Structure 1
Amino acid sequence: MVAFRVMRKSYSITLADQSLIRSNCQMKFEDLYELIRPIAECASHSEILALTSNVSAKLDFEFYSIVIRRIENLVENNVVINHNYPEEWEEIYRTRSYFSKDPANSPLTFSKPSLLWSEVSDTEVFRAAKEFGIGDGVTCTVRGSHHICSVSFAVRKKDVCPEMMVGAQFIIPYLCNSVICIAETELATAPILSEREKECLKWVSEGKTSWETSVIMSISERTVLFHLSNIQQKLQTTSRAHSVAKAAILGLLNADLFSGDPFKLLK
């Protein structure tokens, strides 16, 4: 048995796991282990995002996505999605409200160790994906104390070969656990935003400029900029979009107040 630590949590690779990988995957077990080991060193969302991109590519997947949401509020508004799908597909996914229709995002799948896209290929979302040029894939979901994280790997029009699928199903849960550990570590020290700061973020999330926000809130533009600057300092973020995403993950935005876009970049 090989044991190692991922973000203060210990995991073990059993001999049965090793046998399964060796018999089904062209990659050597040692190669998969080398892909997993850096997960233990990830301390930020930007690091885990870069690692996810690297791992998916090494397993010959062309696309990846990371979806993280608060357990206390599973509505679409408190979700952050990172991905490398084409912008055209993102636009289709948005405009057709596919997030709520996507089987990979359904609470019914959270209890399953993995969702093979071939099992739900006849659903509206996956039919549209194939028409666009996104083919087979796999999604694994892990539930933490306060967050749920789903990571998906996908290819273009071809099917996923068994070797790729075994590698993905083996590695993705470790990526999910790392995302959750980072999010819940941040949650433990989350700052408090004022109601005015939350309202500023609401309008920013809907694409309003500082001037438009000032008119809506009946305050000066200078005051809006002051609130946004305070928010970035409190959340230790580098941009408005980053602030909205991090606030959503930390549960600092009320569901009835926040109606932003789930496709936010959390760096």
Structure 2
Amino acid sequence: MSILFAAGHDENNAFRNHLDRKIAEFGDFKYAYMILNKKNPLETLITSNYPSQWIDIYKERNYQHIDPVVHCALQRVSPFPWDESTSLKSRLKPSEIFSQAKSYNITHGYTFVLHDHDHNLAMLSLMTNDNKSIDIENQIHHSKAHLQMLLANIHQEITTRHQETARNRFDNPNAAKDPLSARENEVLYWASMGKTYPEIAIILGVKMRTVKFHIGNIVKKMGVTNAKHAIRLGAEWQLVKPVAR
């Protein structure tokens, strides 16, 4: 699992407190901040002041797979309002989510969307604490640009923080995770030089599945989502060492 989605309990609590303060600057709202790996939707991170019981249910049942709000966000780059009719606007059948969420006074809201370069979807959903106040869009009309920027800033903060955590693991010789092995460095080096997997296999005298195996280990160790990201961070962190031939 990517380090981005494996934050500790204390770290998540600190981030939620930070987000609580930021959201409070715009009014009295319930909110949910979610990051979802678009290549593997099982990898999600949720920070929210929604009722904790509902968040537990959502995570346990992996509702991100069938959540109409998530499906709508995946197809958009602009913010949008949602309510029980959102599921009827999509190709999905009416979702059981809204009927269950109603028990927790989650019936309507407004969601801001961000797609990042690492294939993640970030969402910031707002709801009024006064469930009778349906027109949330009216309440945040003058703050939309600021809220969209808030989403961009908090997403940058959390991704940067987790990248630094990953880098520290490599810099710390006593870290729980070992740095790259000699073979992994060779694979990452040749990948950073633009070589394809078959070319790397020929250079190293191994099978292509062995190259893919090492790439998979590199991605896991670096806490990233794909080989391209590993190559970029490997160069940035000066992990890629020239290979003597």
CA distance in 2, matches of 1:192, 1:110: 35
Q: Distance in 1 between matches of 2:178 and 2:48?
A: 26
Does residue 137 of the first structure (1) align with residue 136 of the second (2)? no
Q: Within 5 A, what are the aligned runs for 1:124-203?
A: 124=95, 125-146=97-118, 147-156=120-129, 157-158=131-132, 159-167=134-142, 169-186=144-161, 190-191=166-167
Match of 1:75 in 2: 41
Q: Please list every run of 5 or more consecutive structure 2 residues that lacks an aligned counterpart in the other structure.
A: 1-10, 89-93, 180-219, 227-245
> 3-state SS of the aligned residue for 2:141?
helix
Ranked by relative contact order (alpha carbons within 8 Å, sequence separation 6 or more), the top structure is: 1
* Number of residue equivalences: 162
Percent identity between the aligned chains? 17
Larger of the two Rg values belongs to structure: 2
What SS does the corresponding residue of 1:85 show, helix, strand or coil?
Answer: coil
Contact 2:77 2:115 survives alignment (8 Å): no
Displacement of 1:120 = 1.2
Return the offset for 1:98.
1.8
Please give the TM-score of this superposition, normalised by the length of structure 2: 0.51
**Which segment is superposed worse, 120-129 or 169-178?**
120-129
Shift of 1:51: 4.5
CA 180–161 in structure 1, closer or farther in 2 if over 3 Å, else same = closer
Deviations 1:5-39 (A, max 9, x none): xxxxxxxxxxxxxxxxxxxxxxxxxxxxxxxxxxx
Mapping 1:32-111, distance limit 5 Å: 49-70=16-37, 73-76=39-42, 78-106=43-71, 109-111=74-76
Question: What's the TM-score once normalised by structure 1's chain length?
Answer: 0.47
8 Å Cα contact 1:59-1:167 kept in structure 2: no
Q: Which residue number corresponds to residue 120 of structure 1? A: 86
The answer to whether the 8 A contact 1:56-1:153 is kept is no
Instruction: Report the equivalent of 2:229.
Output: none
Tell me which residue corresponds to 2:197: none
Which amino acid letter does the alignment assign opposite residue 59 of structure 1?
Answer: F
Does the Cα contact within 8 Å between 2:34 and 2:47 map onto a contact in 1?
Answer: yes
Pairwise CA distance, 1:81 = 0.9
In structure 2, how many angstroms separate the alpha carbons of the residues matched to 1:90 and 1:140?
A: 19
Contact kept, 8 Å, 2:35 with 2:45, in 1: the verdict is: yes
Per-residue deviation, 1:153: 1.0
Contact 1:148–1:180 under 8 Å retained in 2 = no
Distance 1:59 1:230 in 2: 41
* TM-aligned CA distance change 1:108 to 1:176, over 3 Å: closer
- For structure 1, list consecutive stretches of 5 or more residues without a partner in the other structure: 1-43, 195-228, 235-246, 254-267
Cα separation, 1, equivalents of 2:155 and 2:72: 17
> What does residue 242 of structure 1 align with?
none
Whole-angstrom distance in 1 between the partners of 2:71 and 2:22: 25
**Alpha-carbon separation, structure 2, partners of 1:232 and 1:53:** 33
Whole-angstrom distance in 2 between the partners of 1:105 and 1:248: 29
Matching residue's letter, 1:111: R
Query: 1:9: which partner in 2?
Result: none
Query: What secondary structure sits across from 1:74 in the alignment?
Result: coil
RMSD: 4.0
Offset at residue 186 of structure 1 (A): 4.7
Go from structure 1 to structure 2 and tell me whether the alpha carbon gap of 1:97 and 1:70 turns closer, same or farther (over 3 Å shift). closer
Q: Which amino acid aligns with 1:149?
A: A
